[in-house]
Amino acid sequence: MTAGVFAALLAWGMVTGIDLVSFLQVMVARPLVAATVAGAIVGDSMSGVLVGMLLELYALEVLPVGGARYPDYGPAAVAGTVAAAGGGMAMLGVGAVVGLLVAYAGEGSITILRRRNTRRVREAAASLDAGNFRTIQRVQLGGITWDAFRALLLTGAGLGLALAAQRWPPVSPRAGILLTAVLAGIGLGSAVLNGKRLVQGRGGAAWLGVGIAGGVAWLLLR
């Protein structure tokens, strides 16, 4: 991997990291988007799409309500794509595991950032209450800056893990296929369960069933 590609991946991971909460929230942080772009950067679009699809199934379970903690799948998808690139279906599962580990670490990093923000807000409480715009601006823009730093570190660590996994795969190609299949199965099971929960009341299973029937019919008739 060239330094230019590495820098582009770092920058992209950082953008997806701040998009999750701090800035824009236009969903470039979704694994399907983050991994697809990462795949294009590393020159293996197909690995990017497949890693993105696999991690997107897991991201469907995230419901970021209130002060909930949730994984950071943007940098995770970037790292997962790098791990899977060029390895076919045998490395897809390894890429997904790298992605899931980074997403999990990202959850912890978001909590640390929020605690840091809380300390800054406590320190500036009197000035905030007095309606001092400079203080509000400093706290607000400081939050974005620290989140960008968090996302950069997370992406960097994820890329390190991904390159290590690519160089020293933790499983044989045969076990890699098994890993891919099991992770796809868990992701699909989770997606179905979460799809059912989207409908209030008792109609969830029916709507989900209609969709599944449509999908199966499409596969059979295309």
Partner 1 sequence: MATPSVTAFVRSALRLLTVQAAFNYERMIGVGLGYASEPLLRALPGGREGQHYHEALGRAAGYFNAHPYLVGLAAGATARAEHEGVPGPQVERLRTALVGPLGAVGDRLVWAGTLPAASAVGLALSAHTRAGVGAAALLALYNVPHLLLRVWGLVAGWRHGTTLGRALAAPMLRGSLTAIGPIAACAIGFATPLVANRLVGDLDLAAWAAAVVGAGVAVVVLRLLSPRFGALRLALVAATAIVLGTAL
- Least separation in angstroms between CB 150 and partner 1: 12
Residue 160 or 209 with smaller CB distance to partner 1: 209
Closest CA to 12 of 36, 46, 43: 36
- Least separation in angstroms between CB 163 and partner 1: 18
Q: Is the dihedral of CA 154, 78, 13, 116 positive or negative?
A: negative
- Out of 1, 6, 120, 152, the residue judged to bind partner 1 by CB under 8 A: 120
Beta strands of the chain (E only): which ranges? none
Q: Tell me: does residue 4 bind partner 1 (CB under 8 A).
A: no
CA 182 to chain centre: 19
Burial class (CB in 10 A: 0-12, 13-18, 19+), 73: buried
Site for partner 1 in 159-218 (CB under 8 A): 170-172, 175, 177-196, 198-200, 203-204, 207-216, 218
Q: Is the dihedral of CA 56, 60, 64, 68 positive or negative?
A: negative
Site for partner 1 in 52-71 (CB under 8 A): 52-54, 56-61, 63-67, 71
Site for partner 1 in 76-115 (CB under 8 A): 89, 92-93, 96-97, 100-101, 103-104, 114-115
- Least separation in angstroms between CB 24 and partner 1: 5
8 A C-beta contact, residue 80 and residue 51: yes
- Out of 2, 4, 129, 221, the residue judged to bind partner 1 by CB under 8 A: 129
Residue 3 or 99 with smaller CB distance to partner 1: 99
Q: Which residues contact 25 (CB under 8 A, 6 or more apart)?
A: 19
Structure tokens at 3: 């330094």
Burial class (CB in 10 A: 0-12, 13-18, 19+), 40: middle
- Least separation in angstroms between CB 7 and partner 1: 22
Stretch that binds partner 1, among 8-16, 50-58, 79-87, 154-162 (CB under 8 A): 50-58
